[in-house]
């Protein structure tokens, strides 16, 4: 029965994602930088990684004359494993939209998003892997992993969890998709039940969170300004919203509760809101472009696969809000005119 169950889960994953490989099968540690990076040239179902180790089509190095190159810095919400193909990932859609807006200009892009990255990891990624590709425009999209790390540190200090680090998967979970799925579902169900019982919730003043996130974001923006003509920061979209019922928030928080089982969804909503306030403040203070309007993407299961990851429909809406700002901005138009 267990073997049949394992086989069924692997068939289901292959049908849904095009491969039975786990996410970890796509990465290797880069000896030069110490970063966990995608395996260059690998194809796994609907995910294709180019020869430079970035999800997406091949790009030419050095950058050809007349080309406008866009780099997208982020984590799993930029990598977009949930998208049905490379062409449905929002960085690809943004670039396609710019080509349509400026048909006389050649555009290409670097999807430098990697699952698990924080703002500080993206800074290292910029220095070692992205800057040498000579990007003209850099778009930054971060929040979830930094917020999760900060909340886990607070929870560990409050004695709600033993360690601020996310527990490693069990031996069985690393070798069995069925057991991995069981473990994750049990963890989420336990967290959701604790929410309903209001047990072991982290008490946090959300107005005071995010100081490390702000510092790291300023460092990243400062570095990107030295390496690209145009830098933009996007506020962070989640399925969690103010005004949702308690049950709707519990459902929308499903993946966030896996990493932060001690959080009340309403508190988590306010924490994300505070991080978005910081993004706006940093954009204003550093003079970079702000891509606002995180709530223009509807907070529902049509647009989100879980708390923060986009479906194809969500990826389209994310691309639309990024494209609207980039295509209209004088700095981007100036670069296009120069090419």
Q: Where are the beta strands (DSSP E) in 206-314?
A: 230-234, 289-291
- Whether 78 and 72 have beta carbons less than 8 Å apart is answered as yes
Q: If you average pLDDT over residues 210-229, what whole number do you get?
A: 98
**Residue bearing tokens 């292959």:** 14
> Is 151 within the bounds of a domain?
yes
The reply to whether the predicted model has a pTM over 0.75 is yes
> Is 181 within the bounds of a domain?
yes
Residues 6+ apart with CB under 8 A from 168: none
> Is 263 within the bounds of a domain?
yes
Confidence of residue 145 (pLDDT cuts 50, 70, 90): very high
> Is 54 within the bounds of a domain?
no
* CATH number of domain containing 73: 3.40.50.1110
Is the model's pLDDT at 158 over the cut of 80? Answer: yes
> Is 41 within the bounds of a domain?
no
The parent domain of residue 196 ranges over 68-103+113-338
> Is 233 within the bounds of a domain?
yes
Across the chain, what does the average pLDDT equal? 90
> Is 228 within the bounds of a domain?
yes
Confidence of residue 192 (pLDDT cuts 50, 70, 90): low
- What size, in residues, is the chain? 339
Residue 73, burial from CB neighbour count under 10 angstroms (0-12, 13-18, 19+)? buried
Is the model's pLDDT at 178 over the cut of 90? Answer: no
Q: What is the pLDDT of residues 18-38, one digit of tens each?
A: 555 555 678 999 998 999 999
3-state secondary structure of 220: helix
What does the block give as tokens for 37? 């990076």
> Is 226 within the bounds of a domain?
yes
Confidence of residue 45 (pLDDT cuts 50, 70, 90): confident
Is the model's pLDDT at 335 over the cut of 70? Answer: yes
**Residue bearing tokens 């849904």:** 16
- Which sign, positive or negative, has the C-alpha torsion 189, 117, 317, 25? negative
Confidence of residue 306 (pLDDT cuts 50, 70, 90): very high
Total tally of structural domains belonging to the chain = 1
- Whether 155 and 267 have beta carbons less than 8 Å apart is answered as no
């Amino acid at each position: 029965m267990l073997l049949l169950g394992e086989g069924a889960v692997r068939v289901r994953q292959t049908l849904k994602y095009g491969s039975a490989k786990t996410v970890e099968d796509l990465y290797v540690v880069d000896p030069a930088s110490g970063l966990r990076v995608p395996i260059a040239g690998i194809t796994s179902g609907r995910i294709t990684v180019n020869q430079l180790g970035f999800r997406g089509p091949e790009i030419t190095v050095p950058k050809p004359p007349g080309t406008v190159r866009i780099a997208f810095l982020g984590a799993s919400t930029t990598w977009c494993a949930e998208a049905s193909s490379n062409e449905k990932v929002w960085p690809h859609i943004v670039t396609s939209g710019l080509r349509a807006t400026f048909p006389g200009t050649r555009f290409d892009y670097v999807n430098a998003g990697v699952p698990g990255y924080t703002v500080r990891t993206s800074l290292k990624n910029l220095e070692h892997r992205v800057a040498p590709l000579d990007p003209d425009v850099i778009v930054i999209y971060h929040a979830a992993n930094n917020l999760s790390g900060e909340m886990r540190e607070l929870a560990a200090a409050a004695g709600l969890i033993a360690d601020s680090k996310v527990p490693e998967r069990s031996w069985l979970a690393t070798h069995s998709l069925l057991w991995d799925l069981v473990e994750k579902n049990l963890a989420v169900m336990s967290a959701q039940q604790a929410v309903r019982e209001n047990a072991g919730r982290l008490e946090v003043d959300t107005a005071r969170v995010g100081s490390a996130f702000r510092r790291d974001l300023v460092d990243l923006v400062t570095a990107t300004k030295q390496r690209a003509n145009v830098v933009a920061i996007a506020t962070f979209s989640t399925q969690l919203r103010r005004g949702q019922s308690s049950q709707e928030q519990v459902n929308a928080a499903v993946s966030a509760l896996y990493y932060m089982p001690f959080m009340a969804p309403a508190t988590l909503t306010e924490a994300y809101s505070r991080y978005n306030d910081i993004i706006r403040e940093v954009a204003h203070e550093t003079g970079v472009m702000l891509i606002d309007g995180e709530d223009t993407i509807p907070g529902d299961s049509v647009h989100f696969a879980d708390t923060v990851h986009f479906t194809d429909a969500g990826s389209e809406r994310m691309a639309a809000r990024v494209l609207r700002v980039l295509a209209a901005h004088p700095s981007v138009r100036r670069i296009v005119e120069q090419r």
